[in-house]
Amino acid sequence: MEQRVVECVPNFSEGRDKAKIKQITDAIEAVPGATLLDVDPGADTNRTVVTFAGDPQGVAEAAFQAIAKAAQVLDMSQHHGAHPRMGATDVCPFVPISGVTMEDCSAIARQVGERVGRELDIPVYLYEAAATRPERRNLAAIRKGEYEGLAEKLRDPAWVPDFGPARFSAKSGATVIGAREFLIAYNVTLNTRDKALASDIAFELRERGRVARVATGSPYYTKGKILTYKENAYPCGNCDFTGRTVAEVISHCRKAHGYNLEDLLRANDVDPAKPLAGQKVYRAGKFTHCKAIGWYVDGYKRAQISINLTNYKATPPHLILEEARRLAALRGLVVTGSEVVGLIPYPALLEAGRYYLKAQGKSPYIPIPDVLQTAVFSMGLSDVQPFDVQRKVIGLPRGFEEGLVTLPVKEFADEVSRDTPAPGGGSVAAVAGALGAALASMVANLWQDKVESREAASALLRAAEIAQQAKDQLILAVDEDTQAFNAYLEARRLPANTHEEKAYREQKMQEGLQAAVRVPYQTAQAGYQAMEAAWIAVQYGNVSSISDGAVGAQMGYAAVRGGAWNVLINLKDIADPAFVHDMQTQCEALLREAKRLLEQVAAHVDKRLAELIESKKP
């Protein structure tokens, strides 16, 4: 049950009037399920960039409410500013963070766009991943001519909006809505004040590369003489190859260096369709989706490689950093750390942490806070500014600031023992399963780097991965189980005087009961995963840990058995016979499997322990 998080970064054409901006952000904050993260007004641009995030439904609703409020309080006919724009809500991208795909975000963009067009009468263009045709993918192309040219643009059949009227609205202009990847603004800090040294590395990293030079043997590339294309002599720029024709060098760059030379030339404002003789030779950088320059930051008294990553899934920040560290070392430089400007998505930091753990031969499947801390330390993210995970990471799994899971073990036991019906067997089953999964993870992580066979090592890593997932899910279920039961109790207390009240109460009670069935069923499923991980752990871990794995399997079974009983006790009041039948069948199958697995673990463990005692006899 991965948490689903979408980010939305609308830009509004107002950067000076704080009261108007506040009306727009208030509209966002009023929507449950959306959280306002940042408001960044610019006086010169007369534009405000707002960032909020949440579940897909909440974010879609908040985006619509913000666009509606901007249409009400802003007037484009009075707007002047330094940034290109065409509407009161100028652009509104949806960005996948975790548990959602780009396709999901495109669907949200279409749904919000349709509603904006229909309910607010604003022309809407879809862009990037949500674009309806290739020429509308690029924001700059859609915005060309800006607000002042919009009335004419709307008369052009090629620019009929995707939603809303093809009619100019002087007050609101047009809005561009779409879906795109998260942009990470990432700086690598060097132990120098010299901007030129930072630029030299930046040009090696960035997608558009640099002007090619004759190699001098010095790592400082700028020392060599600039290469140019000549008639019948087209140098590659990366190696000694020289093509006799342009086609030859294009083909060589693709085969030998893996990039499209024509795209590279265009990125450097050279038209490859025109004769190239006399033009400078360019060579590609090491990473795609990467823009980079060198600069000097007075506040830090150091030069930085300033990087924009437009697709962190293709080019993750930790790989950029490792290459920067290698290139710096060649030049006698030291990378002192790195800096995230704004926010970083949770999956990017998680992947970075796992990358460094693997490099150290450690298990990457340890508690998530530990993985994230490894990333912060390994990347030196607190070098120039403190890096606070809670504040800087977007889409973090739900925290545990409150609820039963924050109680010490003794207080939890006391709370269960009091004369209130909840927390009860469902929450206790979930705690048992979480502890079982934790034991399986412990054994797997303890032995994954000490076993001899590679098969055993990879089986143990797999067990650690399954166990960590099951553990986190079961921890969530401890409170969810109690909440689901309380929701049912609240529904029972609803008034039932009129016919409508009775029907509403019955509907709420049924919803509460179905939730009170689903949560323990998920507990039972996750408990079974804990057992599977424990079974791997007792087989491949060292025999000295075999009793830990065995207890893990036993606790996992308590979650399966306990979860199933909690499903059954709530099923008796559910009115939908198909739902009841389905759940009964699924519980029976799961219990059969769990029972078999428990016997298998117990037989294996008892046999090994008996052998162990036998071998120690004098």
Whichever of 254 and 398 has its CB closer to Zn ion, that residue is: 254
Give whichever of 240 and 452 is closer to Zn ion, judged by the CB atom: 240
> Are 473 and 526 contacting, i.e. CB atoms less than 8 angstroms apart?
yes
**What number of CA atoms fall less than 13 Å from residue 576's CA on the CB side?**
12
Q: Among 239, 277, 330, 543, which residue interacts with Zn ion (rule: CB under 5 A)?
A: 239
Q: Is 83 a catalytic residue?
A: yes
Q: What gap in Å lies between CA 308 and CA 374, rounded to an integer?
A: 23
**In the 8-state DSSP scheme, what is residue 392?**
H
Which range touches Zn ion (CB under 5 A), out of 95-103, 253-261, 513-521, 572-580?
253-261
Q: What is the number of other CB atoms lying within 10 angstroms of the CB of residue 549?
A: 28
- Residues near 120 by beta carbon (within 8 Å), at least 6 away in sequence: 67, 68, 71, 164, 172
Closest contact distance (angstroms) between CB of 235 and Zn ion is: 8
Whichever of 249 and 536 has its CB closer to Zn ion, that residue is: 249
Residue 111 or residue 238: which is nearer to Zn ion going by CB?
A: 238
Nearer to Zn ion, 241 or 565 (CB): 241
The nearer residue to Zn ion, 29 or 248, going by C-beta atoms, is 248
Residue 67 or 250 having the CB closest to Zn ion: 250
Binding mask 184-223 for Zn ion (x = CB under 5 A): ----------------------------------------
Nearest distance, CB of residue 323 and Zn ion, angstroms: 19
Q: Estimate to the nearest angstrom the gap between the alpha carbon of 617 and the chain centroid.
A: 56
Among 190, 236, 327, 457, binds Zn ion (CB under 5 A): 236
Indicate the residue among 236 and 546 with the shorter CB distance to Zn ion. 236
Q: Give the Cα separation of 347 and 353 in Å (integer).
A: 10
How many Cβ atoms from other residues are within 10 Å of residue 333's Cβ? 21
The CB-of-191 to Zn ion minimum distance in angstroms stands at 33
Window of 43-51, 205-213, 239-247, 560-568 that interacts with Zn ion by CB under 5 A = 239-247
In the complex, minimum distance from the CB of residue 240 to Zn ion, in angstroms, rounded to a whole number: 7
Q: How far is the CB of 209 from Zn ion (least distance, A)?
A: 13
Quick one: which segment of 103-111, 158-166, 233-241, 607-615 binds Zn ion (CB under 5 A)? 233-241
- Are 237 and 282 in contact by the 8 Å Cβ rule? The answer is yes
In the complex, least distance from residue 251 CB atom to Zn ion, rounded to whole angstroms: 11
Number of amino acids touching Zn ion (CB under 5 A): 5
Selected catalytic residue, list 162, 383, 472, 481: 481
Cβ contact 47:74 at 8 Å: no
Cβ proximity to Zn ion: between 235 and 426 the closer is 235
In the complex, least distance from residue 253 CB atom to Zn ion, rounded to whole angstroms: 7
Contact region with Zn ion (CB under 5 A), list: 241-249, 331-339, 399-407, 448-456:
241-249
Helix, coil or strand: residue 235? strand
In the complex, the smallest distance separating the C-beta of residue 274 from Zn ion, rounded to whole angstroms, is 23
| Strands, E assignment, 62-191 | 89-98, 124-128, 175-179, 184-190
- Give the one residue of 57, 99, 194, 241 binding Zn ion; rule: CB under 5 A: 241
The DSSP bridge partners found for residue 338 are: 188
Burial-class residue 464 by CB neighbours within 10 Å (0-12, 13-18, 19+).
buried
In single-letter form, the type of residue at position 489 comes to L
Least distance (Å) between residue 208 CB and Zn ion? 18
> Do 405 and 475 touch, CB atoms closer than 8 A?
yes
| Helix extents (H) in 43-128 | 56-73, 102-120
Pick the binder of Zn ion from 35, 111, 238, 586 (CB under 5 A).
Answer: 238
Going through 200-243 in order, the beta strands assigned E by DSSP cover: 210-211, 234-235, 242-243
Q: Is 259 in the site for Zn ion (CB under 5 A)?
A: no
Q: Where are the beta strands (DSSP E) in 285-390?
A: 290-297, 302-309, 335-341, 344-345
Length in residues, the chain: 618
Tell me the helices (H) and strands (E) count for the chain, helix number first: 18, 17
CA dist., res. 190 & res. 173, Å (int): 45
Question: What DSSP state is assigned to residue 540?
Answer: H
Whole-number Å distance between alpha carbons of 213 and 129: 37
Token digits for 262? Answer: 């024509």
- The secondary structure of 397-422 as a DSSP string is PPP-SSSGGGS-HHHHHHHHHSSSS-
Match 């799994």 to its residue by tokens. 397
Please identify, among the stretches 189-197, 255-263, 370-378, 402-410, the one whose residues bind Zn ion according to the rule CB under 5 A.
255-263
Least Å distance, CB 259 to Zn ion, is 10
Exactly one of 38, 75, 83, 604 is catalytic; which is it? 83
Rounded Cα gap, residues 261 and 10, in angstroms: 35
78 alpha-carbon distance from chain centroid = 39
Decide: 188 and 320 in contact? Cβ < 8 Å.
Answer: yes
Contact stretch for Zn ion (CB under 5 A) within 155-163, 234-242, 423-431, 582-590: 234-242
Pick the closer one to Zn ion by CB: 265 or 533: 265
Contact segment (CB under 5 A) with Zn ion among 230-238, 279-287, 445-453, 525-533 equals 230-238
| Residues annotated as part of the active site | 83, 481
Footprint on this chain of Zn ion (rule: CB under 5 A):
236, 238-239, 241, 256
